[in-house]
Amino acid sequence: MEHKALIVQSDLTLLMDVHSPGAEDARKDIIPFCELIRSPEHIHTYRISPLSLWNAASSGITEQDILQRLTRHSRYEIPQTVSFTVQELIGRYGAVILKPYEDSQLYELTFKTERIAREVLTRSELKGLLLFSGGRTFIRRYDRGEIKIRLIKAGYPVDDVIPLMKGKHVSIEMKSQTSQGMPLTIRDYQKEASDALLGDLGGGSGYGTIVLPCGSGKTVVAMEIMRRLKTTTLILTTNVAAVHQWISEIDDKLTVSSSQEPEEAVIGEYTGMRKEIRDITVCTYQVLTYRKDKEGPFIHLDKIREYNWGLIIFDEVHMLPAPVFKVTSEMQSSFRVGLTATLVREDRREDEVFTLVGPKRYDVPWSELEKKGWIAQAECVEIRIPLPFDAELPYAVAGKREKYRIASENVRKIDIVKQLVANHHDDFILVIGQYISQLKKIAKELDAPLITGSTTNAKRDELYQAFRDGKVQVLVVSKVANFAIDLPDASCAIQVSGAFGSRQEEAQRLGRILRPKQRDSHFYSLVTRFSNEEEFAANRQKFLSEQGYQYRMEVWD
């Protein structure tokens, strides 16, 4: 039994001995229905959760498959509570089915058993959404997303079998090489991710979320899906710089044409600066959710929604703003794909991403791609720094939030940043922080350009391009650079402050330096010693620790 890698515990956690000969086979077998919680040096911890089981069920994995895999790899007998819980939870997927109906304005809800029907139909939160006729249950077409959200929160994920609409045909082909003359090939895992969503040319489910590390080419996966579907596509992303980056990538890697007049562009930008709707349109979440006041209408939403989209791509889907859930809930007839490096959401709305965009269809550990050379090897270092004497009393009497800011803006961090920049004189360096006043001081000391939310989009694009071209070696950036910015030569990141304990932000910031390159990458996190910044830093690091990254600790006096 010692060669078996797993210990299955009654609290639904699985302990894996990574030194066991069967560890790699066990990991591959359990990852479709488990979540990785911790991965230190010797024992990795996984957890079975309702969402992980429903993800598995949506991919065709059954209760018998799960129990057989656990039995195959477990050193000891599977606890009865685990078998019972797996049976109870996984059985809820498909217990409620949403089907098409002859009346195009209605959809029909059906139930696996009479007991489940009674349980669902009497729930008060569904009042006003359900219609009844002739002993059958219906919903209005426009309530499709809303009913799915409410039912998953009630513990009944809906199996939505209504066929997806492909939209108008658009001729999309992948180029054989980029504009720089580099051969353009689809990596094995990028093809696997596309297959997981679409199957054979759209024969799969057609909706879901793809989880891949930063720097591994999620954009290429999206473009491969676009190539296969050849349909009108709406791409939603985080900011204007990301919009321009998407358009540049599409121009670089795809050949696109349509039935529009030749003089009309096929790719449109829908942002605060330009309002173009084309067969392929790239839009920011911000402009989609813009309204003049809290009670006012979403000004651009109706205009975007009216177009016949065959495919919607949600870039950085873990960042999906709450108002966009409304948009997504009303666009359920399109093929949909969410792209992310982590499904961690600090607001715990992962179940809504599962319901509206789609379940996780593909995931691969960061360490696996690092071993194969598809993303850079990264050294993570946390540097602990004491507070200056004159800041100790203000820190002691401050409230929790103010304590965090005092610790984050520790002036001693500036000298350490300068030393690290000097140590990495051959690297392209990002200095990343939360507080603008702190970043301004650092930029001035380094004589480096600064990008914040108030930097114009044109200036941001100019500075990012200068960094890519090697004309700027050090960039000081606020949280606007956390997401969807491709800076392939960045090899060193220095984090001086962050958004409290955000695991999502930590992963994204490391991701800025994970594009493969000739040298290893370095990620430094500066933390004030004996302060609550240490506590927040520990929480921030959890996701990366789960992916196998280890933080080396240093104390600078």
pLDDT value of position 262: 46
Which one of 309, 340, 364 terminates a domain? 364
Under a CB-based contact definition with an 8 Å cutoff, are residues 400 and 529 in contact?
Answer: no
- pLDDT band for position 266 (cuts 50, 70, 90): confident
Under a CB-based contact definition with an 8 Å cutoff, are residues 253 and 217 in contact?
Answer: no
- pLDDT band for position 360 (cuts 50, 70, 90): confident
**Do 382 and 524 have their domain in common?**
yes
The answer to whether residue 165 is domain-embedded is no
62-76, 266-280, 322-336, 493-507: segment of lowest average pLDDT: 322-336
- pLDDT band for position 265 (cuts 50, 70, 90): low
Element (H, E) at 262: none
**Do 358 and 432 have their domain in common?**
no
326, pLDDT greater than 80: no
Nearest by Cα to 94 from 117, 111, 72, 79: 111
pLDDT digits (tens, 9 = 90+) for 440-472: 999 999 999 999 989 998 999 899 999 999 999
476, pLDDT greater than 80: yes
**Do 377 and 522 have their domain in common?**
yes
Token pair listed for 461: 């694009």
Q: How many domains, the chain?
A: 4
The answer to whether residue 1 is domain-embedded is no
pLDDT value of position 477: 95
More confident call, 397 vs 320:
397
- pLDDT band for position 104 (cuts 50, 70, 90): confident
425, pLDDT greater than 70: yes
**Residue tagged 């002993």 (tokens):** 135
8, pLDDT greater than 50: yes
**Do 286 and 253 have their domain in common?**
yes
* Mean pLDDT calculated for residue range 376-405: 95
**Do 155 and 203 have their domain in common?**
no
220: CATH: 3.40.50.300
Per-chain mean pLDDT for the chain = 89
Token pair listed for 501: 């304990």
3-state secondary structure 420-447: HHHHCCCCEEEEECCCHHHHHHHHHHHC
pLDDT value of position 484: 57
How many CA within 13 A on the CB side of residue 87?
A: 8
Residue 13, number of CB atoms within 10 A of its CB: 16
Q: Name the 3-class secondary structure at 497.
A: coil
115: CATH: 3.40.1170
The answer to whether residue 291 is domain-embedded is yes
The answer to whether residue 166 is domain-embedded is no
**Do 380 and 525 have their domain in common?**
yes
Nearest by Cα to 481 from 466, 461, 502, 503: 461
**Do 396 and 477 have their domain in common?**
yes
- pLDDT band for position 346 (cuts 50, 70, 90): low
Range of the domain at 124: 96-160
The answer to whether residue 402 is domain-embedded is yes
**Do 191 and 298 have their domain in common?**
yes
202, pLDDT greater than 50: no
**Do 257 and 304 have their domain in common?**
yes
The answer to whether residue 502 is domain-embedded is yes
pLDDT value of position 201: 43
494, pLDDT greater than 90: yes
The answer to whether residue 280 is domain-embedded is yes
* Mean pLDDT calculated for residue range 228-248: 93
66, pLDDT greater than 60: yes
Which one of 90, 109, 138 terminates a domain? 90
Which one of 90, 108, 139 terminates a domain? 90
pLDDT value of position 404: 94
The answer to whether residue 276 is domain-embedded is yes
pLDDT value of position 203: 46
- pLDDT band for position 487 (cuts 50, 70, 90): confident
**Do 350 and 381 have their domain in common?**
no
Backbone angles phi, psi at 152, to 5 degrees: -70, -35
* Mean pLDDT calculated for residue range 170-191: 89
**Do 383 and 417 have their domain in common?**
yes
**Do 148 and 188 have their domain in common?**
no
230, pLDDT greater than 80: yes
Q: What's the whole-model pTM score? A: 0.83
Alpha-carbon distance of 44 to 38, in angstroms, equals 6
pLDDT digits (tens, 9 = 90+) for 164-173: 887 899 999 9
